[in-house]
Amino acid sequence: MLTHRFPYPPNRGDRIRSYNLLRLLSQYHRITLCCPTDEPVSQSQLDHVNAFCERSVVAPLSKVGRLTHAIRSYANGKSLSEGMFFSSSLQRQVKSLHAQTPFQTALVYCSSMFPYVDQPSFRDTRKIVDVVDVDSRKWKQMSQQSTRLKRWIYGCEAERVQRLEQRIADRADGIALVSDLEASLFERTVCVAKSPLGISNGVDSDFFYPHDAVHRPNANRKVTKLVFTGVLDYHPNVEGLVWFCRDLLPQLRQSKPIELEIVGRRACGKVKDLALLPGVNLVGEVEDVRPYLHNADIAISPLKLARGIQNKVLEAMAARLPVVLTTESAEGIDATTGVDFQIADSVEQWRHAILKLSDDAELRTSMGRSASKLVSQQYSWNARLNKFLTLTQPASLNGQTDTDPNPRCDDELSLAVDAGAW
């Protein structure tokens, strides 16, 4: 299993998916995890992940190294993304392990890791790629919304990532994306011999559910608390927050006392600047996001460049919060607007939705209850990711798993739950 980041702790969307995928597949396969990392990995984190792996290979990447590889990749006509996650050390170790005992299946998490197995030595290895999102479309959207140099860079990256996606479509034995919509988009964007599968994210609904009534907000308090969670240097998150805080929040505060808490890691300069605005509280990185969800009245996801299913939305719904979100943020979630969450796109729609929920405690409770019930019944991780088993098992086994017929029981996997999804 090749991932572009060390999958633990699951404190961002890509890690949440890869971590839960690792947990699921470890019940049925003997796994070697290989990944680069640009962040320190502690021994306790390594021990935690090794509980699911036969072995793990982690290659540190410095910021200078990532930049150097990105430039070299670009100079060779490839995408910057491929270079950003390339490690010559990791490549050597992957080749060496494969030469010693050939891997039966290579599961590649995200397109930028595909070059590690797009090699002659892996010709006979079954290759499954979780593309997750159609990244070429994301870069294209960013180029259309940028100016001058960035427009050119993003446009070039979109073209080169699309060529990488085409290679994956030509050479992979199975392809998955984070939703049926993303799978359909991938199929329309590149020429594929076999239709990709839409396999959405899930959520640990019991973990996020507010069992302790102490954490539930007082329905009679005068200030309406909004909450946003997510990585705070990720462009779509930053863009959505800037729009919300500068274009919408001042209008809302003219009608009612409303405050927004921004919770997440690695706040960039633009997000830090938002904390200077009235009604905006930048909380930053926290060990456990649940108290902030449980203390809020409404969760928001004002993303316009969202691709695939949003973990932040599922987590807020599991926490019994009414969520106001854009059409893009709702992608891949089979829910009813006005019942399970509220979709809003224009400033006026957002203003109406938030003020209506702010004024009606019963509506907030009803929508939160419906949201929690929906994700509990339909979005458990095992239920959502089980489709991967149809991709990872060789066709010759006719429905049998390729390793121990008695997978690890769920009790043995419960040790992973203590850290939650943050």
**Which residue did the predictor score with more confidence, 337 or 181?**
337
Query: Which range has the worst mean pLDDT, 56-60, 340-344, 402-406?
Result: 402-406
Nearest to 208 by CA among 320, 370, 335: 320
- Render pLDDT for 156-172 as a digit per residue (tens, 0 to 9): 999 999 999 999 999 99
The percent of the chain in helix, strand and coil, each rounded to the nearest 5, is 50, 15, 35
- Render pLDDT for 214-256 as a digit per residue (tens, 0 to 9): 456 666 688 999 999 999 999 999 999 999 999 999 999 999 9
> Where do the structural domains in the chain lie, given as residue ranges?
2-202+381-419, 205-378
Same topology for domains 2-202+381-419 and 205-378, yes or no?
yes
* Spatial CB neighbours of 45, under 8 Å, sequence gap ≥ 6: 6, 8, 9
What is the percent of the chain with per-residue pLDDT over 70, rounded to a whole number?
91
Provide the pLDDT for residue 130. 97
CA dist., res. 220 & res. 291, Å (int): 19
Residue 126 has pLDDT above 60, yes or no: yes
How far is CA 216 from each of CA 135, 211, 221, 237, 366, rounded to the nearest angstrom? 38, 9, 12, 26, 14
Phi first, then psi: give them for residue 201, nearest 5 degrees: -70, 165
Banded model confidence at residue 69, pLDDT cuts 50, 70, 90: very high
Banded model confidence at residue 154, pLDDT cuts 50, 70, 90: very high
Provide the pLDDT for residue 192. 84
Residue 290 has pLDDT above 80, yes or no: yes
What would be the CATH architecture of the domain defined by 2-202+381-419?
3-Layer(aba) Sandwich (3.40)
**Which residue did the predictor score with more confidence, 14 or 115?**
115
Residue 414 has pLDDT above 60, yes or no: no
> Considering the chain, what is the average pLDDT of its residues?
89
Provide the pLDDT for residue 405. 35
Residue 399 has pLDDT above 60, yes or no: no
Residue 418 has pLDDT above 70, yes or no: no
Provide the pLDDT for residue 86. 96
Residue 336 has pLDDT above 90, yes or no: yes
Stretch 366-385: mean pLDDT, rounded? Answer: 92
Cα 3 vs. chain centroid, distance in angstroms?
13
Encoded tokens for 292:
């902030």
CA dist., res. 47 & res. 191, Å (int): 41
Question: Which position has the token pair 């930048």?
Answer: 282
Residue 28 is which amino acid? Answer: Y
According to CATH, the superfamily of the domain at 205-378 is Glycogen Phosphorylase B; (3.40.50.2000)
Between the two ends of the chain, the Cα-to-Cα distance in Å is 22
Residue 15 has pLDDT above 60, yes or no: yes
Residue 12 has pLDDT above 90, yes or no: no
CA dist., res. 302 & res. 329, Å (int): 7
Banded model confidence at residue 11, pLDDT cuts 50, 70, 90: confident
- Render pLDDT for 184-225 as a digit per residue (tens, 0 to 9): 999 999 988 889 999 989 999 999 999 875 456 666 688 999
Burial of 422 (0-12, 13-18, 19+ CB in 10 A): buried
Banded model confidence at residue 80, pLDDT cuts 50, 70, 90: very high
